[in-house]
Structure 1
Amino acid sequence: MSHRNFFPTSSGGSSAAATSGSSRSTSNQSTRKVRKTRIAKMVADNVVVIVAVHGCFMCVTVNSLMQRLGVNPKMVEVEEEEKTATLVKLSKIEDRIGGPWELPAVYVGGKLLGGVDKVIEAHLKGELVPMLRAAGV
């Protein structure tokens, strides 16, 4: 009588459960690549992208500042319950470790500028407009 092992063993034996889990993780990895590509493409294809939480006052403030500077940013609004998943996706765009920790996340010329604090800081230092011009706005 043959015995089928459905759980991974410490000796490295494969199992039906481990095999089916592997195919699921491969499927999940390809799905993640599609999502990453879509988000990365959006950031790459638009000079200024603001990823915001729907109804967020600070997100509206950053968008208003950009519009007053003559920029028409690509606004991507997510619901509050999508915020964490969106931040995880955004963190995978950057080659460096980390990514935005809060929304809004502002991208200029395909690079993360930062959140509302970085945008306001750059504006007050007189660095935002030259940065926008250098990006092609």
Structure 2
Amino acid sequence: MDVVTSMVADRPVVIFSRTNCCMSHTIKTLINGFGANPAVYELDEIQNGQQVERELQQMGCNPSVPAVFIGQRLVGGANQVMSLQLRNQLVPLLKSAGAIWI
């Protein structure tokens, strides 16, 4: 889990994704829509993508993408992020992580 931990360090929002995953695209669009600028790692394009995917699965991400970290904490996948949005908790979480200001 050291690789994932180092990838999310010092970043307010990190999304692990795959270029061909429609749910990943949806979550990236949602978070970008609030004005956040997440670090996005496309597991099918980065060199150590398989290792990162294994670590995400060990952390409990199933499926492994999208995996969203806000404030260096694993929020979860698409279902968890959408649940936060429906409960009006996503924006405050993004604000507290310093990802958005307004």
Which bin holds the TM-score, normalised by the shorter protein? Answer: 0.7 to 0.9
Return 5+ residue gaps in structure 2 as ranges.
Answer: none
The match for 1:127 is 89
Query: Conserved in 1, the CA contact under 8 Å of 2:18 and 2:66?
Result: yes
The match for 2:38 is 73
* CA distance in structure 1 between the partners assigned to 2:56 and 2:8 by the alignment: 10
The match for 2:61 is 100
The match for 2:54 is 88
* CA distance in structure 1 between the partners assigned to 2:53 and 2:43 by the alignment: 10
The match for 1:63 is 28
Matched residues, percent identical? 34
* CA distance in structure 2 between the partners assigned to 1:85 and 1:120 by the alignment: 27
**CA displacement at 1:136 relative to structure 2:** 1.2
Of 2, 7, 18, 1:53 maps to 18
**CA displacement at 1:37 relative to structure 2:** 3.1
Q: Which has the higher contact order (CA 8 A, sep 6+)?
A: 2
**CA displacement at 1:45 relative to structure 2:** 2.0
Task: Spell out, residue by residue over 1:43-98, the C-alpha distance to the aligned partner (whole angstroms, 9 max, x if none).
Answer: 11211000011221110110000110111110000129x87643322255xxxxx4
User: TM-score w.r.t. structure 1 length?
Assistant: 0.62
User: What letter corresponds to residue 124 of structure 1 in structure 2?
Assistant: L
* Aligned CA-pair RMSD: 2.1
Larger radius of gyration: 1
User: TM-score w.r.t. structure 2 length?
Assistant: 0.82
Q: How many residues align?
A: 96
Name the one with the larger helix percent: 1
